[in-house]
Structure 1
Amino acid sequence: MKINHLTSAEENLMKQFWKLETFYLKDVMEKHPEPKPHQNTVSTYLKILVEKGYLSTEKEGRIFKYKVLVPYEEYKKFLLKEFSVNFLNNSGKEILEFLFTENIISKDDLQEFADLKPAKAKEPKLEYANEILNPKKDKKIKDKKKKKK
C-alpha cells in the first residue's frame, strides 16, 4: 500500500479519525473541538482523504460511512522513514545522534532498550538443503554401506 503525504489540516483530522476507526460526518462534527470547521470543509477533506487512500466509504441510505484504511502505526513508520531518508542520510547512527542532541532520548532510555534483548531465533535445520548442496557426501556414505554388505 502506497502512503501519500498529508497536509497539516488533513493530518489533524486523521488523528481524530484514527481514534474513531469508522464514523459518519456527524460523528466528526460532534467530536471536533471548538472552533468547529464548517461541515462543507470537513466534507471536502473527507473526499480528499478518500482519494489519497486513507479512508474508504460505504453508502448507507443517503449518507456515507467512512472507514480508516491506513493504520496510525503505518503512517508513523512512513513519516519516520521519510525523515530518515530526506534529512538523516537513512542512517541509524544519525537518527540516534539527532535524538540525543535534541534531548528526545536519554542514555538511560537507550540502555533500557539495549537491555531488552530479543530472544534468539532457533537456527533452521538444513537437512534437505544439505542433501541438495552436498550430494557427493551422501553418495559416499551409501557406497560405503553397500561395500560393507
Structure 2
Amino acid sequence: MEKLTNKEEEIMRALWKAERAFVKDLLPFFTDPPLHYNTVSTIIRNLEEKGYVGHHSYGNTHEYFPLISKENYQNQFVINKLVGEYFDNSYKNMVSYFAKNDKVSAEELREILQMIEKGN
C-alpha cells in the first residue's frame, strides 16, 4: 500500500465519512477551495488503481466505497510517520511529550495504562 497525496487523502476522508458515494455526492465536502467534478473523478479513479477504493456500476455511473478503513490507513501512515519523524520511533517519547506540554493529564495517563493492561 502506498502513501496518498494530500488531495487523495482529502478525497478518502470524504469517502470514509460518506461510506458510499457517487462523485457528485463528494463535491459538497470540498468548498474551500471547491473541487471540480472532473478533478474528484480523476482522483477517485487513481485511488481505485492504488487499491484504496472500489465501485459498483449502475450503467455508466459508479458508486464508490473505501476498500481500506480509516483506522488501517492512520496506523500504517499517519501515526507511524508522526512517531518516526518527530519522536524517534518511540511511543514513550510521544506520550512523554504530550504529558510535559499539559496535553494529557495524569488521570488520562492512568486511564490509558488501565486500557493497556486490560488489552483494549
- TM (norm. structure 2) is 0.80
Aligned residues: 116
What residue is the counterpart of 2:106 in the other structure? 107
Question: Structure 1 stretches (4+) deviating beyond 6 angstroms?
Answer: none
What is the rounded CA distance, in whole Å, between the counterparts of 2:102 and 2:43 in structure 1? 35
In percent, how many aligned pairs have the same letter? Answer: 28
What is the rounded CA distance, in whole Å, between the counterparts of 1:36 and 1:113 in structure 2? 40
Gap runs ≥5 in structure 1: 120-149
What is the rounded CA distance, in whole Å, between the counterparts of 2:36 and 2:24 in structure 1? 12
Q: 1:19 aligns with which of 14, 17, 20?
A: 17
Gap runs ≥5 in structure 2: none
What residue is the counterpart of 2:29 in the other structure? 32
The offset of 1:15, in angstroms, is 1.2
Q: Which has the larger radius of gyration?
A: 1
Query: Which one-letter code corresponds to 2:118 in the other structure?
Result: P
Q: Does 1:70 align with 2:68?
A: yes
Query: Which one-letter code corresponds to 1:36 in the other structure?
Result: P
Q: Does 1:88 align with 2:79?
A: no
What residue is the counterpart of 2:118 in the other structure? 118
Query: Which one-letter code corresponds to 1:111 in the other structure?
Result: R
What residue is the counterpart of 1:57 in the other structure? 55
Distance 1:44 1:101, change over 3 A: farther
What residue is the counterpart of 1:41 in the other structure? 39
SS of the residue 2:21 aligns to: strand
Distance 1:42 1:85, change over 3 A: same
SS of the residue 2:56 aligns to: strand
Tell which has more relative contact order, 1 or 2 (C-alpha 8 A, sep 6+). 2
